[in-house]
Structure 1
């Protein structure tokens, strides 16, 4: 979830979600295979109505009743099974409890069709947004990571169960005929009118049928309706034989802005494909959809509500998001990174949320490095590290929290900087990039944990990383080094204080002694004295790459080497 300001939602809603999440959980008794949706949006009454087929396999010994998440504000018009048999149900506390016609044995499949309607609302970020375009047309979009996808369609919400990714999603969106509807995947067809159950009155309607044949989290499912201008192209991407469909859907007044801003897309996709592996969803599409909120990683239909900063710069227009766009178009780069981290590889549960936001934010630095070089990326991560609390904040968010409880700005900044620190510890770039690609490839379209990443790291580096993970992922805070250089008749020394936390860290020193020399010391907690292996006190002795080690560090030169303090 990304928003420049606070997200305000009723406390009662959040408390109710917690009650459902911690009750006896029948949702763990089945695994969702597909959602097939028929949805109708009526802008004039701000009404959403739909039929959703949930197709699932029983994972328990048998199943007589299933529980589906659906916000209590909706009217449930009826529930049937695949044969059309009406099923009894109860709908309260955001949970829809459905009695199946007969017990379904373990390993067998079942389908429930849920007919529902309601008038969902939107907040500053999360919710179902009924907005107007600058031209006065309906402009509708969804965002739900922070509140759960069950706020707008019945599902086994990733808000509670991140581990259950459906294998496919199809969505037929019926909307006024003068509007265009966009969802995940590829557009299968556009037809006049609506489904049989839909009462369109005297208005003209169209139905857009979309299908996405890849697993995804339920919050990454999206519905967008508006007076969109459609710009279509194809891209040849690294590691993919056939061209990938590339589209963007923007309001009429944004076409010229998008033409400038989205020139960056091919290079962005190239950078991420080379760093992490081929684009994950080539049979669907890559797309950007203009929305009234800032941005969201909706799979293959990435929500973009930013300021088109490249257009602002080209036209000398003030960028309202300038503080976020100092390095690049933040929403464009960050949300696209989620196609790899969050959409393709997802957390097993929200304790591992850093896999989405930490790696997604680390990808920003990868983009900076690709365009501006490693020194620029060092400055980028050094700047980001200033946001990380010195003595608190655990990257691992605990055992099985819901999405809202696990969410924190820490998983962005500390997650990214810890990834940069891992790379520094490894001190071998081919091994680092191989680790990221291996982790992506192994868990692509599935779910992963912090320990899965450690396993990948140990496999590629052939080193034990248990201590590092204890300190950096499961521990709190960051290290603080105080380094003092001095020389005497016995030689040149580095006195290192490592007194905050229990961190075991590398210290890299460089100097010239006929040729450039480098030594790496490993520093345990405490105060330590290291002798520099040089024949005479060097005039250019210095610590290098300290900015790659997350934390607050100070260096002092004294005695014969002069004095300098660097923060």
Structure 2
């Protein structure tokens, strides 16, 4: 008969042995066990995943991260990343263990509170998503603690349910890290769910001649021993899915808006000419957005333009969106609008994606309306009547599912989340009129600045701002309703 002896939180557990034998074993070893248990480990294990309806393993329970200090060294020639992540957090319950999201990479050591901590990788062979950390002595509720993880390897590319690629993307001259929805776990360990935002310090070393661009403000850059090191600081809370690192032969330009907001732009040399005109309009777009959405929520803005094909999509990475090739003005407006809606006011879960994309899409409509293009009403009518897209299949897709309840993780970026989400906002505008509607746009961004919110928070906010109006039909038919609503 085989048996296994496992020490778990100072309690001796024996498996594979009849209960009668277990009792005898405890009697014989009682003195030894008692001595080992004098330092009883507190609490249970934090949940591995926050139970997001579309990505249930994303994020982790039991603690809240307040700051990430990431020190990265990347060699594009061999595609090797060496990293040290210093994670400051607060325990929200007693913990004998907690999990960090990390996909791939080899973990060399983990410390909690300056002491070595035991760790293991779930999923087998280090290929799972969870890095389970067992701090010596456990953690008490309310404890503020620092975890240091040292790791290395070739970061992986993550394929989303919709087939798009994120994580650590290899480019012709370096790499591009993109994280929506869960790709950031490919290059640093953390609590990778939008509900846990934190500040960041990101230091990246790359071969001399390359640049490393990230979020926030560039605090320093220096070259020594054939390596160039760039230090970035993000002082406002940021969800990990909008964290980025872009490594390449970028041409960079620093300027300011009329109000003094720093504008940092990094462009692949092959895209400089094609993108110059639209990137020069960043100050204009930000100033227009502030009139409509309220004060800009961050301490800098800008853009990263990599080569066309380096990524399959643009992304609203905080402070400076990423574009694969030169963007048009509509796409620039969309991604900058996300700085208010998505990056500052961040969804509580991925179910609330329309609060990002519906708002950013409607921002495009407003920009066109204010700059001699179609009105938002024109676009709304074209969508409803079937004249907006080039094919019947695209038009039908708008009504495939309700904006507030995407049919699956594979459809989070589909038309109902974008266009029909924007139509919900237009229905609100039709109901309350322009004056109150713009108060809602600005007030919503201000009320949840640097926080999280869900769809119920939004509907409650709208109803509070216009207490004399009945929104039940809009919510039931346009926001949550199946199929195409009755003719408006």
| Fold match (TM-score > 0.5) | yes
Instruction: Indicate if the aligned counterparts of 1:247 and 1:287 stay in contact, CA closer than 8 A.
Output: yes
Separation (CA, whole Å) in 1 of partners of 2:91 and 2:100: 14
Q: Which runs of 5+ in 1 are unaligned?
A: 1-16, 133-137, 194-202, 238-242, 309-327, 482-548, 550-567
Please list the CA deviations of residues 44-88 of structure 1 after superposition, one character each: whole Å capped at 9, or x if unmatched: 10111100011111112x1121100000x21111111232x2111
Separation (CA, whole Å) in 2 of partners of 1:180 and 1:279: 27
Q: Structure 1 residues 76, 278: CA separation in 2 closer, same or farther (over 3 Å shift)?
A: same
The alignment partner of 1:102 has SS state of coil
Is residue 2:440 matched to residue 1:435? yes
The match for 2:18 is: none
Separation (CA, whole Å) in 2 of partners of 1:204 and 1:227: 15
Is residue 2:100 matched to residue 1:68? yes
Separation (CA, whole Å) in 1 of partners of 2:348 and 2:471: 20
The match for 1:447 is: 452
Is residue 2:265 matched to residue 1:233? no
| Counterpart mapping for 1:419-434 below 5 A | 419-426=425-432, 428-434=433-439
Instruction: Indicate if the aligned counterparts of 1:126 and 1:143 stay in contact, CA closer than 8 A.
Output: yes
Which one of 48, 54, 62 corresponds to residue 29 of structure 1? 62
Separation (CA, whole Å) in 2 of partners of 1:449 and 1:466: 17
Instruction: Indicate if the aligned counterparts of 2:177 and 2:184 stay in contact, CA closer than 8 A.
Output: no
Task: Report the alpha carbon displacement of residue 417 of structure 1 after superposing the two structures with TM.
Answer: 1.3
| Counterpart mapping for 1:16-415 below 5 A | 22=56, 27-60=60-93, 62-71=94-103, 73-83=104-114, 85-92=115-122, 93-122=128-157, 125-132=165-172, 138-158=173-193, 162-166=194-198, 168-193=199-224, 204-237=226-259, 243-281=260-298, 283=299, 285-291=300-306, 292-293=310-311, 294-308=313-327, 329-372=329-372, 375-385=374-384, 386=386, 387=395, 389=397, 392-397=400-405, 406-415=412-421
Task: Report the alpha carbon displacement of residue 19 of structure 1 after superposing the two structures with TM.
Answer: 12
The alignment partner of 2:136 has SS state of strand
Task: Report the alpha carbon displacement of residue 163 of structure 1 after superposing the two structures with TM.
Answer: 1.2
The match for 1:472 is: 478
Instruction: Indicate if the aligned counterparts of 1:306 and 1:331 stay in contact, CA closer than 8 A.
Output: no
Separation (CA, whole Å) in 2 of partners of 1:403 and 1:55: 30
Separation (CA, whole Å) in 2 of partners of 1:56 and 1:295: 31
Q: Structure 1 residues 448, 389: CA separation in 2 closer, same or farther (over 3 Å shift)?
A: same
Please list the CA deviations of residues 209-253 of structure 1 after superposition, one character each: whole Å capped at 9, or x if unmatched: 10001111111000011111111111124xxxxx10012111223
Separation (CA, whole Å) in 2 of partners of 1:422 and 1:19: 27
* TM-score, structure 2 normalization: 0.79
The alignment partner of 2:206 has SS state of strand
The root-mean-square deviation of aligned C-alpha atoms, in Å, is 2.5
The match for 1:7 is: none
Q: Structure 1 residues 353, 388: CA separation in 2 closer, same or farther (over 3 Å shift)?
A: farther
Task: Report the alpha carbon displacement of residue 466 of structure 1 after superposing the two structures with TM.
Answer: 3.5
Which one of 452, 456, 463 corresponds to residue 458 of structure 1? 463
The alignment partner of 1:27 has SS state of coil
Separation (CA, whole Å) in 1 of partners of 2:52 and 2:437: 39
The match for 1:311 is: none
Separation (CA, whole Å) in 2 of partners of 1:173 and 1:288: 18
Separation (CA, whole Å) in 1 of partners of 2:59 and 2:70: 23
Q: Which moved more, 1:386-395 or 1:339-348?
A: 386-395
Q: Which moved more, 1:250-259 or 1:357-366?
A: 250-259
Separation (CA, whole Å) in 2 of partners of 1:66 and 1:80: 13
Instruction: Indicate if the aligned counterparts of 1:397 and 1:406 stay in contact, CA closer than 8 A.
Output: no
Separation (CA, whole Å) in 2 of partners of 1:402 and 1:81: 37
Instruction: Indicate if the aligned counterparts of 1:358 and 1:411 stay in contact, CA closer than 8 A.
Output: yes
Task: Report the alpha carbon displacement of residue 378 of structure 1 after superposing the two structures with TM.
Answer: 2.7
- The structure that has the greater radius of gyration is 1
Separation (CA, whole Å) in 1 of partners of 2:217 and 2:238: 15
Task: Report the alpha carbon displacement of residue 173 of structure 1 after superposing the two structures with TM.
Answer: 0.3
Q: How many equivalent pairs are there? A: 414
Instruction: Indicate if the aligned counterparts of 2:168 and 2:183 stay in contact, CA closer than 8 A.
Output: no
Task: Report the alpha carbon displacement of residue 403 of structure 1 after superposing the two structures with TM.
Answer: 5.8
Task: Report the alpha carbon displacement of residue 264 of structure 1 after superposing the two structures with TM.
Answer: 2.3
Separation (CA, whole Å) in 2 of partners of 1:410 and 1:420: 14
| Larger relative contact order (CA 8 Å, sep ≥ 6) | 2
Instruction: Indicate if the aligned counterparts of 2:345 and 2:451 stay in contact, CA closer than 8 A.
Output: yes
Q: Structure 1 residues 382, 139: CA separation in 2 closer, same or farther (over 3 Å shift)?
A: farther
Separation (CA, whole Å) in 2 of partners of 1:225 and 1:468: 45
* TM-score, structure 1 normalization: 0.69
Instruction: Indicate if the aligned counterparts of 2:156 and 2:186 stay in contact, CA closer than 8 A.
Output: no
Separation (CA, whole Å) in 2 of partners of 1:140 and 1:105: 40
Separation (CA, whole Å) in 1 of partners of 2:335 and 2:326: 14
Separation (CA, whole Å) in 2 of partners of 1:380 and 1:397: 23
Separation (CA, whole Å) in 1 of partners of 2:108 and 2:410: 29
Instruction: Indicate if the aligned counterparts of 2:397 and 2:415 stay in contact, CA closer than 8 A.
Output: no
The alignment partner of 1:53 has SS state of strand
The alignment partner of 1:475 has SS state of coil
Task: Report the alpha carbon displacement of residue 121 of structure 1 after superposing the two structures with TM.
Answer: 4.0
Instruction: Indicate if the aligned counterparts of 1:121 and 1:130 stay in contact, CA closer than 8 A.
Output: no
